Amino acid sequence: MDLYKGPLDTKEIFGRWLDEEVRSNYGAYISFVGTIRAEDGIEALSFDIYEPVLQTWFDRWQEKAKKLGAIVKMAHSLGDVPVHKSSYLSAVFSPKRRVALEMIDAFVEDFKANAPIWKYDVKKGKRIYASDRSTPMDGAGLLA
C-alpha cells in the first residue's frame, strides 16, 4: 500500500506493479483507476487519510487474497487532486480469472465503505467536506 501527496502517476504505478509480479505466474491482472470527474464546478478533490486504520484494513485484505492465491495492491492520494487526475489505484493479481474479477469488485466496494479516507470538494481554493457522498463505516453509531 502506497500513499502519495497529490495525483497518482498512474502509468508508473501500473507498470511497476506489473514488473513486481512478473515472476509470480499470475494469469489475470485487473487494475482499477479512480479519476476525478469534472462536475459541480469543482477544481479538485482533496483527501484526508487515517493511515494506521487504513493499513490494518489493507493488511486484512492481503490475508484474504492470499488464501485464494491472489495478491492485492493499492495506492491513494493525500491532499489535493485536480480534475481529470487519478487519486486511487488498486489491483488484483491471480492465477484464476474468476478470483480476480470477483475480488476487484469486493475490494473496491469494501474500500469505498470502510477505508478511513475523507473527501472534500475544492471550490475557489476552499475545502468542503463531501458529506452527501460519504458513507458511515461498518459499526457507525456505537457512541450515539
Partner 1 sequence: MIKVEFLGPIAQAPIEMEAETLEDVSVRLKEDRTLAQWLDKCAVALNDTMVNDLKIVLKDGDRVSILPPVCGG
Which positions touch partner 1 (CB under 8 A)? 34, 47-50, 52-53, 56, 76, 87-88, 97, 108, 111-120, 129-131, 133-144
Q: Can you give the C-alpha Rg of the chain in angstroms?
A: 16
C-alpha count within 13 angstroms, C-beta hemisphere, residue 129: 6
Q: Which of 20, 37, 59, 113 binds a copy of itself (CB under 8 A)?
A: 37
- CB of 66 vs partner 1, minimal distance in Å: 20
Nearest to 116 by CA among 99, 92, 134: 134
Q: Is residue 108 involved in binding a copy of itself (CB under 8 A)?
A: yes
Show the cell assigned to 124. Answer: 475557489
Choose among 105, 85, 110, 83: nearest CA to 94: 105
List of residues contacting a copy of itself (CB under 8 A) = 10-11, 14-15, 18, 22-23, 25-39, 84, 95, 97, 100-101, 104-105, 108-109, 112
